[in-house]
A and B are shown apart, each in its own frame.
Chain A
Amino acid sequence: MRKTQLIARDELRLMVRNRVAVIAFALLVLLTLVAVLSSWSHQRANAELRARHQHEAEHAFDAQPDRHPHRVVHYGHFIFRPLGPLAAFDPGVDAFTGSSMFLEGHRQNTANFGDVRQSSMLIRFGQLTPAFVLQVVAPLLLIFLGYGVLSRETERGTMRLLMLQGVSRGQMVNGKLMALGAVAALAGLPAMIGFIAIAGQPGALALPMATIALGYAAYLALWVVVIVLVSAAVRRSRDALLALVALWAIGVVLLPRVAPDVASAAVPLQNRLQTDVAIARDLRRMGDSHNPDDPHFAAFKASVLKRYGVDWVEDLPVNYKGLLALEGERLTSELFDQYARQSYAAQNSQNALVQSVGVLSPTIALRSLSMAAAGTDFAGHQRFLEQAEAYRYVLVQRLNRMQAEAVNYSDDTATDPGADRRKRVSASNWDKMPDFTYQAPSGGALAAGALPGLVVIMGWLAAAILLLARTSRRLGEGR
């Protein structure tokens, strides 16, 4: 057996003979298993619930009776964001952003029913997911098991004992890295088993999964190198433990929580009320289709009459109210899109700011990587919102066009007792409306989104290895 392996084996033997270490490791494995199972079951239940609700919503929409198309516009339609299999590993912002939307005319609603709003406050601290365990808990376990790997040898004088047996500094450091690396690999094993189970699910994409596996492996490897580095740099184990716990507290706990607050303060985002007030103000400015003196709608009416070569809306071959609804929806949607773009831009600026802090905290970089590859980051949420809005616009405008083409203007404006029945269109039309189908991004697109985080972690890993090589040159020096 090579010296490096002998040193690694002895380090592992020390850990095995230390009951506290064994118990801590067993607890981590148990925690990861619980996280894998609970997260898996939560994801399955959520995915099934959303699919069932989506089916029921589609059925309810299609089952509407004969109706005026504009009533259908206001009847609206619920759509649900389908949950990808990788959300079982890292649900990302899904619990916070909401997963369903109510689509209707004249309004762009936000997503609803996020887990956070429906669950206890504990979920805000962090869900028990495999991602959370590997990002937060596993480094802490590695610290407690590994802070003394080299400082203990220095402190007790056994480092020189090893050197006197002809062990080089490199062999000593590599042996310690190997031992702690084995612990890290074992700690990550239950999560990886869960990951393999996810790989068998429909919709699981190989490239993002490989990116996640690589990212987490690099992250744990980084902690292993940092722990050995700090243990090599200080002469007392107590100092190594203090330094490493401080690094963990700042890098894993503090920065990932402070960074979003800093980003929120730096790039303020309008709240729902402010946005609604601003939109209402702009809508008033835009004009009133019911006011015959409104300049925009007067011009619109004139252009329609001119296009059809008639003098009165009653002479139009189509229902003018339907045309008005089409124009009104076009205008309001443009306005909504403008506000949505502003909101996306602000949120993306906030995310960019948080990610730039990721250069200081590899945990932030790993979170970005993990959520981006799992498709559960803000970009994934935005993708859903954009697709939902595109679907809403098409649906509403189809109904408006139906009003223009299938409902007679005179019927539409009549108020006699039988008018309501004459305004209705056949229920068979609702079934012909397209259903919402979420277009999931490709594996390449998800992996590309995760790349910046991976680059940051790899950069940290390379820097830590270089620093360790430099620090270990001085191991055991002095009188």
Chain B
Amino acid sequence: MNHFGAPPILIDGLTVAYGDHRVLDELSLHVPAGSITALLGGNGAGKSTTLATLLGFVRAQAGTVLVSDVDPGADPDGARRKIAYLPENVALYEHLTAVENADYLLALSDERKERGVITDALAAAGLQQRAWDQRLGGFSKGMRQKVAVAVALLREVPVLLLDEPTSGLDPRATADFNALVSAVRDRGTAVLMVTHDLLSAADVADRIGFLEAGRIVEEVEAVGAERFDVRALHARFAVGTERHAA
């Protein structure tokens, strides 16, 4: 099938079940290049499973999933080459410095860069110069995220997946991070973010989808300078999470 012109993230009728439990139920979602989509949902709504399916760690029972035209179910390694992924707790190597982490990960993905290019990316991600050659053992979550985003920038992948990226960050760090993600989006990257953090999603996303019981029940697009009606979003989110809890 020719998917010419398909968005970097394309999900159609995706169904994933663990045993008898349907976690994703005919989920459909398109994330175009140069845009940020936030998926909001309570615990168990299927947010993490959506990301795991895109990463090829979970197999779909039905539906279509494409990451830049690559089916992660059939070719997980091929799909992963197109993706930069920031989990909730950014996993990096603590025995390596920020520069060494980036150098190692880029070498593994066959995209080795000079030290100057790496430090430029770390600077662009907001990591202070004195931290570049420090081992990650003493880094805060925000600093680790900056290293991970720098690697994502350097890899120049078409897709960035973010799993609860702002949980545990203070407001200043959240604002910095959102600015960084916006910069990545502006380079033409398709960004999918799953989060509980409604304010952060409203701040950075171009589109917000409400995920309930494995399907998107409502989508809202950013409009004008105000972008979103945060009160309405909050009310909608509260209803969804209460319904899920019930």
Contact in complex: B77, A168 (CB < 8 Å): yes
Is A167 among interface residues, defined by CB-CB distance under 8 A? yes
Contact in complex: B108, A162 (CB < 8 Å): yes
Is B52 among interface residues, defined by CB-CB distance under 8 A? yes
Is A157 among interface residues, defined by CB-CB distance under 8 A? yes
Contact in complex: B77, A3 (CB < 8 Å): no
Q: How far is the CA of A165 from the CA of B93 in the complex (A)?
A: 14
Type the 1/0 row for A431-448, where 1 means its CB is closer than 8 Å to any CB of B: 000000000000000000
Q: How far is the CA of A142 from the CA of B84 in the complex (A)?
A: 34
Is B105 among interface residues, defined by CB-CB distance under 8 A? yes
Within 8 A of A (CB), among B108-152: 108-110
Contact in complex: B77, A160 (CB < 8 Å): no
In the complex, chain B residues whose CB is within 8 Å of the CB of A7: 108
Of B77, B84, B89, B108, the most chain A CB neighbours within 10 A belong to B108
Q: How far is the CA of A167 from the CA of B104 in the complex (A)?
A: 12
Of B55, B84, B104, the most chain A CB neighbours within 10 A belong to B104
Q: How far is the CA of A62 from the CA of B244 in the complex (A)?
A: 104
Type the 1/0 row for A148-177, where 1 means its CB is closer than 8 Å to any CB of B: 000000001110111111111000000000
Residue of A nearest to B106 (CB): A165
Residue of A nearest to B48 (CB): A479
Is A416 among interface residues, defined by CB-CB distance under 8 A? no
Interface size class for chain A?
20 to 34
Contact in complex: A6, B108 (CB < 8 Å): yes
Contact in complex: A164, B93 (CB < 8 Å): no
Contact in complex: B104, A6 (CB < 8 Å): yes
In the complex, chain B residues whose CB is within 8 Å of the CB of A17: 95
Contact in complex: A477, B57 (CB < 8 Å): yes
Interchain residue pairs with CB less than 8 A apart (29): A1-B107, A6-B104, A6-B108, A10-B96, A13-B95, A13-B96, A17-B95, A157-B87, A157-B89, A158-B91, A160-B85, A161-B92, A163-B77, A163-B80, A165-B80, A165-B105, A165-B109, A166-B77, A166-B81, A166-B108, A166-B110, A168-B77, A476-B57, A477-B57, A478-B58, A479-B48, A479-B49, A479-B57, A479-B58
**CB within 8 Å of A: which residues of B?**
48-49, 52, 55, 57-58, 76-77, 80-81, 83-85, 87, 89, 91-93, 95-96, 104-105, 107-110
18 more contacts with CB within 8 A, not counting A6-B104, A17-B95, A165-B109, are: A6-B107, A6-B108, A10-B93, A10-B96, A10-B104, A156-B91, A157-B91, A158-B93, A161-B91, A161-B105, A163-B55, A163-B76, A163-B77, A165-B105, A166-B110, A476-B57, A479-B48, A479-B49
